[in-house]
Amino acid sequence: MKTKSPEQEWVDRWKKLGPILSQIRNEDLRALTDAEGTRRATFLGVPQPLVPRQTSGLIEYQRWLRHSKDVGS
């Protein structure tokens, strides 16, 4: 018997769980009150204020690369 690749297992899991998660989401939406539904719908697609970055992230990225190099050695 041929074993499935991790990617194929992932796809198979989502084929099984996708409809279950959709059902849960739909039940949660049906349970909302009109006021709560209106409040949530009001802010759909409204961009949230961005917090200015203090750094570019380059230093953290370099730290991550150095750590991964040390772990791989």
Backbone angles phi, psi at 44, to 5 degrees: -65, 130
The model's confidence at residue 5, banded by pLDDT at 50, 70 and 90, is very high
pLDDT in tens, 9-51: 999 999 999 999 999 999 999 999 999 998 888 888 777 777 8
Q: Where are the domains of the chain?
A: 1-41
pTM over 0.85: no
Q: Is 23 or 73 the better-scoring residue by pLDDT? A: 23
Asked if 36 contacts 44 with a C-beta cutoff of 8 angstroms, the reply is no
Asked if 72 contacts 64 with a C-beta cutoff of 8 angstroms, the reply is no
